[in-house]
Amino acid sequence: MKCDALVGYGWCRASYVALRSLHRLGLRVAIADEYKVGMAMWSRFASGRFRYADFRNHPDAFLSDINGILERTGAKFYLPAHDEGELVAQHRDRLPADVIIPLHDHKTIAKANNKAETMGTATELGIPVPRAIAYENLDNLRLALNDSPGEYVVKLRRGNSAKGVFYGGTPAEVEAITRGLIEQFKLRPNRNPIVQERVQGEGWGVSCLYWEGQRIATFTHRRLREKTVSGGTSTLRVSAVNPTLEDYAHTILDHYRWHGLAMVEFKWDPAGKRGWFVEINPRLWGSIALSVAAGVDFPALTYIAATRGPDEAKKLAGPCRIGLVARWYLGDIIRGLGQVVRLHPIDGIGCMLPGRADVYDDLPFDDPGAWIGQYAFYLTRFLSSRSMNPTDNVILG
């Protein structure tokens, strides 16, 4: 099966959005993933479907599989969609030189994936960051917490979708969480969890496409609801404008001379009109369906920048529609069920009711295989992990 493009991580919503965007350009798009089921894997718009090895545990086999898929399909554009991007960038020389892979270099992506690294960079650039406690061992941490009690967030240096993020309201809780993470992940002192003051505010994201340091497109959204009560992947969000946060995002991505896609996350205090940097997601992001619906088609613009040049992509990165609301319906069902289990039935049922959105991430009625594939994936993962938010789909630590 000859194809023009290959998109990885085919089980998830973001890859499905990329598939549809590239398909609208008239491209034949192959989808690949380690699982048989998934949203893009079961889409009628996929011109080919392939399996690859688990890149976390079998990187050499994964790279060999990607090589084989590119050879079989003849695809000249490969879009890694998630954490596999860092591995691909690290071993770019093991993949065909004539295939376009819109990723920054491995060193920069690794920095962007390290929350402590990006927090330090943000601070140096004058971007506000929640105060963090510097500590070498648990004794240091205990003393610092006793001197400055309050609510804290404990984060692994690497993780996403609220995985690897925990909250403690007392010094004893924070210390216990930190100790547990160090033991569970066998962390060395230079990888100790980040302990950071918990700032209250709204979740915002500023998404960007850069090409060799040149900014092509920007899109901003505000989170209205998230899959887990404590934070994480948004299930309801609205397109918006926030010049302060957009300036922060551009400042840090300009510093890295970014190349490819990235979404910068922030907390925003609407009363005080101030924001704090949270992290960079150097990849496709879960809420990307909203930007495409609002008029900023990041996957298509990435392909155009790669094949026709960044100036052509900038011409097509037109104004976006502000105030558009997008919803991930399955995510709301997961949140709602969790609230019911926690004995909050009114909130839980409210989350699961239909409506209240202009567009949906996961209800493409012209492509029933896609939404069936999504539900099938989450059902199989729940049955195997007994969790609505399993951690085996991301790299933590």
The structure tokens listed for 176 are 């216990």
Does one domain contain both 205 and 330? yes
Q: Would residue 373 count as lying in a domain?
A: no
Across the chain, which has 397 residues, the per-10-residue mean pLDDT values are 96 97 98 96 98 97 98 98 96 97 98 95 98 91 88 86 80 92 89 92 97 98 86 90 98 98 97 96 96 97 98 92 97 92 90 90 95 94 73 58
Helices (H), the chain: 13-24, 59-73, 84-90, 106-113, 115-124, 138-147, 171-185, 243-255, 288-294, 298-307, 310-316, 329-341, 345-352, 368-385
pLDDT at residue 189 in the model: 86
Looking at the chain, how many residues does it have? 397
CA max distance for the chain: 64
Does one domain contain both 121 and 138? no
Q: Name every residue whose Cβ is closer than 8 Å to that of residue 368 and which is 6 or more positions away in sequence.
A: none
Q: Would residue 154 count as lying in a domain?
A: yes
Q: How many domains does the chain have?
A: 3
pLDDT at residue 370 in the model: 97
Q: Would residue 338 count as lying in a domain?
A: yes
Domain of 262, in residue numbers: 103-129+199-363
The structure tokens listed for 369 are 């295989």
pLDDT at residue 17 in the model: 98
**Which residue in 89, 60, 70, 64 sits closest to 30, CA to CA?**
70
Does one domain contain both 266 and 324? yes
| Residue type, position 18, single letter | A
**Which residue in 1, 109, 6 sits closest to 67, CA to CA?**
6
pLDDT at residue 158 in the model: 81
Report the distance separating Cα 287 and Cα 357, nearest Å.
Answer: 14
pLDDT at residue 210 in the model: 98
Report the distance separating Cα 388 and Cα 235, nearest Å.
Answer: 14
Does one domain contain both 180 and 211? no
Report the distance separating Cα 362 and Cα 36, nearest Å.
Answer: 18
Report the distance separating Cα 100 and Cα 305, nearest Å.
Answer: 11
**Which residue in 324, 323, 375, 327 sits closest to 355, CA to CA?**
327
Q: Would residue 23 count as lying in a domain?
A: yes
52: domain CATH number is 3.40.50.720
pTM above 0.85, yes or no: yes
252: domain CATH number is 3.30.470.20
Asked whether the beta carbons of 42 and 66 are under 8 A apart, the reply is no
Q: Would residue 204 count as lying in a domain?
A: yes
pLDDT at residue 392 in the model: 55
Does one domain contain both 170 and 35? no
Asked whether the beta carbons of 4 and 307 are under 8 A apart, the reply is no
Does one domain contain both 327 and 216? yes
Does one domain contain both 48 and 163? no
